[in-house]
Structure 1
Amino acid sequence: MSLDIINKNWKLGVLLVPGYNFAEMSHVIEPLKVANHRLGHTLYEWQLFSLNGGPTMSSCGMQVETLSLTAAWSLSQLDALVICATNTIYQLPVQGFTAPLKHLARSGALMGGVGTGAYYLYLSGLLDDCRWTIDHRHLDELRQQGATPNRAIFNVNNNRFTCQGGSTSLDMMLHIIHLHHGKSVAIAVAEEMNCATLRTPKEHRLDNKINPYGWPNALQQVASLMENNIDEPLSLSEISQYAGLGKRQIQRLFKVYIGISPSTYYLEKRLNNAHKLLFESEYTVEKIAIRCGFSSLPSFYKCYKKRFGLPPLKARHQKALMWSA
């Protein structure tokens, strides 16, 4: 079934991976419920699935009952399936998903992924020859591995629909409702859900980057340069050149708005990124150090311990013990 105007019930399966984001699941389902109400009859139906069925726990501790993905209803009647997963691809269980996903795709079902849910479609070879995206935290890494996700907040094309997760799952579903029933219905659904705008696939996450601290544009530009150059840190001279700002001007901006020096801010960004990789990836400490711009392993150990109170290996070990308890 296509994403063109529909005049029959559209049956959606929502595949929940343990640790899924409950809000993202709601952003998928709620617009369909509101659309049914606005249209005055049921054109959208949905069912929750997991790989093996049964109660499935979300990241916030809420649990819902699910059917097995191989249940007869899913295989014979689904028009579309969308996957909701955890916030990091490093914690995703991957065994057992490829065969049923490929089966559904061959049967003509539309295949979708919210955030890291798109990773399952990618691993199953179901995103070839289409535009797609994924949780923004994994965009650059996957592109380095030869994958082709783009920076659009969502993509809907070639019987695939993917988004970067979070509120973009709502944007994607409003767009699908727009394709099915026109812009006026999508606007009515958005208004009822207090959604201010209908965003399009042409928008990128960085087009709407939040500035919670009220930083001036010059400081935002410098901070963005640092964030985009974690593995090969820029010198203050290079930052000054790229940003078109004087070194003293940059130092003054950091002192006034953040209260620390540019070098301290940059180091904290790199260490925070290392901390995230330590717990969410299987990279060795040596590889993490390199990916976060530390050419010397002893220097990385020293800086990490000063920032977080423990050496990186010990911190990872304690985290593993906590999760296994």
Structure 2
Amino acid sequence: MTCIKDKRHFSSLMRDTNSPFLANEDAPLNTTTVGFVLQEHFSMMAFTAAVDALITANLVRTTPLFSYQTLAVDSSPVTSDLGIGIAAQDTIRDFTNGRHKLPNILVVCGGYRCSTEQQPHLSQFLKDAQRHNVTIGSLWNGAIALAHAGLLDDQECALHPDNHAFMQEHFPRVRVSDQVIVSDQARLTSAGPASALEMMLSMIGQTQGTEVVRAIREILSCDQTSENSNTCLSRIGDDPCLPQNLRDIMELMAANIEEPMSMEELSAIIGISRRQLERLFQNHLDTSPSRYYLELRLTHARRLLMQSNEPVTNIALACGFVTSSHFSNCFKDYFGLSPSHARDKFKSA
């Protein structure tokens, strides 16, 4: 199989998988800072889901997009709902007295047993943040703290269902949503752990674009389950929206990396013509079957390079390349670095 010299950018399906290893010409000049205000008994699961989205966003780009910090309302450590104490990096008093610069985004982390009483210094801190045009959000019932500060008057918010009645009774000007997420450029609110991740992905999509979100989902959604009790790891050809014969071909390609099959062999096994094969890939994946197959093999090679110490020659053969020079040329066309340099760069990062 020959290397496609005139196409050096991965097609959309493979671009998400390989995005952490591709040079990003539109890298941001500054990272976005996110501060998580940890209330006593905050939901650890919601907090870590939100942080995971930020950390993974940094992994899928060659330059960091986000940094985060933890803030205690009063003192550190802060006890989570699991009884685990988290040592916060700062307290909100460090910001109210001017010792630190406010982050770009503040997220108040609530939980099942978090107090619904007003904390005056937290309310003042949130009001100050709003005056400085900080985007403010909440997890679980953290929206109650925003409501105490008057930041949700005449606005819609999401919060845990157990707190809907309290919010409606005490803050009649706040519109409680039945949605698990309410997100715009000024407010980000979510109802629980799963929606915490989705809320952060919504924010990342607004600030960094949908390609970054797709790449994050590529990493974080591999074990997603459904009502069908499908507990198998998801693979790149598992999309039920794709025609079954296309998915069968993609599975055949994935199973034949070391000894690639010809387009004629693939067509014959599936029982379609080569023209139909090419039309399937073009219509549904916006690429050609040969290009997809090459990108699949290069992606497999990239994983072997990063996760093993096998010689480049062995990896080339394991991925269906007849010579290491042919492999190196193809790899450099797509990743901008030779296989050995890419390995060195990854391991030194």
Quickly name the TM-score band, shorter chain normalised: 0.5 to 0.7
Q: State the Cα RMSD in Å.
A: 2.7
SS in 2 for 1:54: coil
* 1:90 Cα deviation after fit: 5.0
Go from structure 1 to structure 2 and tell me whether the alpha carbon gap of 1:116 and 1:211 turns closer, same or farther (over 3 Å shift): farther
- Match for residue 51 of structure 1? 73
- Match for residue 197 of structure 2? 170
Go from structure 1 to structure 2 and tell me whether the alpha carbon gap of 1:69 and 1:91 turns closer, same or farther (over 3 Å shift): same
SS in 1 for 2:75: strand
What percent identity do the matched residue pairs reach?
Answer: 20
Go from structure 1 to structure 2 and tell me whether the alpha carbon gap of 1:143 and 1:45 turns closer, same or farther (over 3 Å shift): same
Q: 1:110 aligns with which of 135, 160, 163?
A: 135
Instruction: Decide whether the 8 Å contact of 1:130 with 1:160 is kept in 2.
Output: no
Higher RCO structure (Cα 8 Å, ≥6 apart): 2
Q: 1:34 aligns with which of 37, 53, 56?
A: 56
Structure 1 residue 14 corresponds to structure 2 residue 36: yes
Alignment of structure 1 residues 227-242 onto 2, 5 Å = none
- Residue segments in structure 2 that go unaligned for 5+ positions in a row: 1-26, 230-349
Structure 1 residue 152 corresponds to structure 2 residue 179: yes
Instruction: Decide whether the 8 Å contact of 2:34 with 2:107 is kept in 1.
Output: yes
* 1:211 Cα deviation after fit: 11
What per-residue deviation string (whole Å, max 9, x for no partner) do you get for residues 208-249 of structure 1?
A: 9x899xxxxxxxxxxxxxxxxxxxxxxxxxxxxxxxxxxxxx
Please give the alpha-carbon distance, in whole angstroms, between the structure 2 residues aligned to 1:74 and 1:84. 22
- Residue segments in structure 1 that go unaligned for 5+ positions in a row: 198-207, 213-325
- Match for residue 122 of structure 2? 97
What per-residue deviation string (whole Å, max 9, x for no partner) do you get for residues 177-224 of structure 1?
A: 111222221021022112688xxxxxxxxxx9x899xxxxxxxxxxxx
Counterpart code for 1:41: T
* 1:40 Cα deviation after fit: 1.2
TM-score (norm: length of structure 2) = 0.52
Instruction: Decide whether the 8 Å contact of 1:133 with 1:154 is kept in 2.
Output: yes
SS in 2 for 1:76: coil
> How many residue pairs end up in the alignment?
197
* 1:129 Cα deviation after fit: 3.7
Structure 1 residue 63 corresponds to structure 2 residue 77: no
Alignment of structure 1 residues 133-212 onto 2, 5 Å = 133-145=158-170, 146=172, 147-157=174-184, 159-194=186-221
- Match for residue 221 of structure 1? none
TM-score (norm: length of structure 1) = 0.55
Instruction: Decide whether the 8 Å contact of 1:88 with 1:116 is kept in 2.
Output: no
Q: 2:103 aligns with which of 78, 83, 91?
A: 78
Please give the alpha-carbon distance, in whole angstroms, between the structure 1 residues aligned to 2:222 and 2:188. 20
Please give the alpha-carbon distance, in whole angstroms, between the structure 2 residues aligned to 1:135 and 1:174. 19
Instruction: Determine which structure has more spread, i.e. the larger CA radius of gyration.
Output: 2
Instruction: Decide whether the 8 Å contact of 2:39 with 2:114 is kept in 1.
Output: no
